[in-house]
Each structure stands twice: as C-alpha cells, then as structure tokens.
Structure 1
Amino acid sequence: MVLHILTNFRSQISTSATKLGVRNIAFLGYGILLMNYIVSVLAAVYMPQGKKGIWLRLPLEKSDLVPIANKEGFGYHHAEPGYVMLTYWISEGPSMLQVNGSHIM
C-alpha cells in the first residue's frame, strides 16, 4: 500500500482513528497525522486484513517529514526524482518487503 500525503487522506485516517477510539489526534500543518498515530491506526486497520508492511511515499516538498517518519520506525526504501519512499514492517519477524533494484545490466 502506498500512502500519498494528500489533504483528503487526513479525513480517511481521521475517520479510521475515530472508529478505533483514538482521541486527541494531532495534525501537522500539512494536514496529516503525527507519525505515531499513523503507525498505530494503520497497524490496527491493516494487520487484521493480513497486510504486513506500510509504504509511505513522500513528495520532495514534504521531505521535512522524513526525520519524523524515521523516528517513528519508517526506513528508507528508495528515492526517485520527485519523491522518497519509506517503509514500515508491522508484522512479526524480519521485513519481507522487496528490495529496490538499483542497477540495470
């Protein structure tokens, strides 16, 4: 799953958080939840569905959020012109997310 940090995404997460009983949701100026709420809510929503990893795609204009995501457990997967992709493994055991190809032969 790739999360695009868009304004309309805030309402989707907020609705999910409310259904799960999360209170006092704090928003950053970009209209997204603080990363610890994102991880908590997404883990609660996607783990029962059998999802094991979270993909977070941040456009370059939101790159100041990368240190916050790193602090909350997201790691770098790859970067392309225009965005950086971060991942978070929510399942038990080592991450089984595919690695990014870095060379063409």
Structure 2
Amino acid sequence: MSAEKREKYFEKVLSEKLEEDVLIFKGDKPVGFMTFGKCRDGDSNSSWGEIWGIEELKSREFTKISLWVLEENSNARKSYEKIGFQHDGTVKELNIEKELKEYRYIENM
C-alpha cells in the first residue's frame, strides 16, 4: 500500500472512530503498535471487539473478542486456546503468494 493510501486509510478510520492505534514503548523507545476496535466480521454485532491487542480490548466494554490466525500457525493457535479463545468453525481463505486459511477464534468476556 502506498504512503498516500495508508494516510487516507488512517484519516478515515481514526476520524470515524473505527479503530484505535496505540504505540508500545520499552522504556522510552517505541517498539511497536497495536490496533483494536469494533469487530469487522459480517456476523458480529456492536458488542464484539476485534483483536489487534488482547489486553486493551479486555479493559473495554466488549462482550466478545475475535481474532484471526493462520491455519498452519499451530503455536499461535495453541497459545490463544490456552488463554480461553476457541475456534468457532469460521474459516477465511487468503491468497498471499499462496493459498492460506485463517481460522477465527472467539473469547467470551
């Protein structure tokens, strides 16, 4: 995505409050960021938050959290299952230089 398209994207989502972006620091050095907001899944409602940052969403008033993880990423899937997420049977197909499947995981708050 070009810098111009990315800038327009951020202007839209931040002005319309579709997501929030948070910088993560280690000491005084920025080391990353996370994004979170309303769930974008077509079968969700306004009480769902989408996972871009688990702990931040848990501090909000969402009743469910969803996240997407690649089928072949078994370590991540096991980690999410250990903290209470369950695959709800929803699968998306992606094509990022190869065919991939993403599994949706849900945690009830």
Structures share a fold, TM > 0.5?
no
Larger radius of gyration: 2
Q: Comparing both chains, which one has the higher relative contact order based on Cα–Cα distances under 8 Å and sequence gaps of 6 or more?
A: 1
TM band (smaller chain): 0.3 to 0.5
Higher strand share: 2
Higher helix share: 1
The two structures have a TM-score, normalised by structure 2, of 0.41
The two structures have a TM-score, normalised by structure 1, of 0.42
